[in-house]
């Protein structure tokens, strides 16, 4: 959600707006940060909507905020649900995917009597649920053959196909966050952002400008690739099985002599979600794995409990026990990874709690 929200903000700025953005990372008016922290709820929405300079508002809305405080607005011009993926299952109010769907579907109320609901045509749960929606829907898809999707890729381009007109919007390889097309999840995010912003009046030129001028530093912690003395370091926030599958697909396209995975998980995931996360880590085909403890994310579990579940599943998958290391923090994991790495290696850092510190250290080493 955060990457798509940032893409929307960049496109709307290219269209001439002063954009207010509230997200899990903070609140901004264009490039000016008003505050940092998780504002993906009604509190962040209120701050943006009350700001006199904002002419467009992009409001990331998280499951937790919807459950605890409801929807931050009664009406919107466009609302987007990117997907329904197994994350936070077992938390209050979201024990199953269908319950999670019902929670996320709350945002459709804001466009029920006006505006457009933007949905992912590749998500079967959303396709089925959409039959209940009385308002207008704009679909996006990664499948070039999905002709019912208004926004989709075709021959290396993002296109809009509607009203009898097929229109090219932007070359995929020109979008830095797609890493020359390897990051398919960011192609999907770009399609979703294009669909949302089209409903808000942004034309092809603004969509292209917003997406092609957005660099990895404009999307910190999401799909960032660093080069350090011949070693590639990939940093992402991926922390659920769906996101890790996307990262596995992306990093498979990156050349590497050896691969190292460093990751962590919060204690509020169920045991089975933790095991699924470990299996997702194994799909990255690492020669070595570092698991960080992250005491601030224990959330009721004993020290070492999350590590033990992840380690057990990784060894069951085939990772030698000697190649699974344990650190207290993600910055310690980074240092161990850099010590292990040789030119041609790929370090995959899935950072949950110390993204800023990890990025700062990488910028220091790379500089």
Query: How many Cα atoms sit within 13 Å of 324 on the Cβ side?
Result: 22
Sequence-ordered list of residues with C-beta below 8 angstroms from that of 251, at least 6 positions apart, any chain: 234, 259, 284, 346, 348
Look at the pTM and tell me if it is higher than 0.75.
yes
Q: What is the pLDDT of residues 178-187, one digit of tens each?
A: 999 999 999 9
Q: What is the pLDDT of residues 10-29, one digit of tens each?
A: 999 999 999 999 998 899 99
DSSP letters for 124-138: HHHHHHGGG--SEEE
**For residue 57, what are its two tokens?**
């508002």
Distance CA(150)–CA(195), nearest Å, equals 8
- Mean pLDDT score, 250-277: 91
- Exposed, middle or buried by CB within 10 Å (0-12, 13-18, 19+), for 138? buried
Residue 273 has a pLDDT of: 87
- For every residue of 29-87, DSSP letters joined together read ETTEEEEES---SHHHHHHHHT-TT-SEEEE---HHHHHHH--S-S--SEEEE----S-
pLDDT-based confidence at residue 241 (cuts at 50, 70, 90)? confident
Contact 103, 134 (CB under 8 A): no
- Cβ pair 242, 83 in contact under 8 A: yes
Which residue segments constitute the domains of the chain, with CATH numbers given?
2-17+58-218 (3.40.1190.10), 224-366 (3.90.190.20)
Is pLDDT above 70 for 91? Answer: no
Mean pLDDT of 346-355: 92
**For strand 346-350 and strand 259-263, is the pairing parallel, antiparallel, or unpaired?**
parallel
- What is the rounded average pLDDT for all residues in the chain? 92
Provide the pLDDT for residue 355: 86
């Amino acid at each position: 959600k955060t990457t798509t929200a940032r893409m929307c903000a960049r496109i709307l700025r290219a269209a001439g707006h002063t954009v207010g953005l509230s997200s899990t990372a903070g609140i901004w008016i264009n490039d000016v940060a008003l505050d940092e922290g998780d504002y993906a709820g009604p509190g962040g929405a209120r701050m943006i909507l009350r700001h006199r300079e904002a002419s467009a508002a992009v409001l990331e809305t998280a499951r937790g905020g919807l459950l605890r405080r409801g929807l931050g607005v009664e009406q919107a011009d466009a609302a987007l649900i990117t997907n329904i993926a197994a994350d936070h299952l077992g938390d209050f109010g979201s024990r199953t995917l269908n319950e999670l769907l019902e929670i996320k579907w709350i945002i459709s109320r804001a466009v029920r009597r006006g505006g457009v609901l933007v949905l992912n045509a590749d998500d079967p749960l959303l396709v089925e649920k959409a039959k209940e929606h009385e308002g207008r829907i704009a679909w996006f898809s990664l499948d070039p053959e999905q002709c019912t999707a208004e926004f989709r890729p075709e021959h290396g381009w993002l296109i809009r196909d509607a009203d009898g007109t097929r229109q090219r919007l932007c070359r995929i390889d020109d979008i830095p966050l797609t890493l020359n097309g390897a990051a398919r999840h960011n192609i999907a995010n770009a399609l979703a952002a294009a669909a949302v912003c089209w409903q808000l009046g942004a034309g092809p030129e603004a969509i292209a400008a917003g997406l092609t001028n957005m660099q990895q530093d404009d999307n910190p912690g999401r799909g960032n690739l660093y080069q350090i003395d011949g070693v590639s370091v990939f940093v992402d926030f991926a922390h659920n099985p769906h996101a890790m599958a996307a990262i596995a697909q992306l990093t498979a396209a990156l050349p590497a002599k050896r691969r190292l995975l460093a990751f962590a998980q919060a204690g509020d995931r169920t045991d089975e979600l933790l095991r699924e996360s470990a299996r997702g880590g194994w799909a990255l085909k690492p020669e070595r794995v570092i698991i960080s403890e992250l005491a601030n994310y224990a959330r009721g579990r004993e020290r070492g409990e999350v590590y033990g579940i992840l380690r057990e599943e990784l060894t069951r998958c085939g990772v030698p026990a000697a190649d699974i290391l344990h650190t207290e923090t993600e910055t310690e994991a980074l240092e161990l990874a850099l010590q292990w790495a040789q030119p041609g290696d790929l370090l995959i850092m899935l950072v949950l709690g110390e993204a800023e510190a990890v990025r700062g250290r990488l910028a220091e080493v790379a500089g």
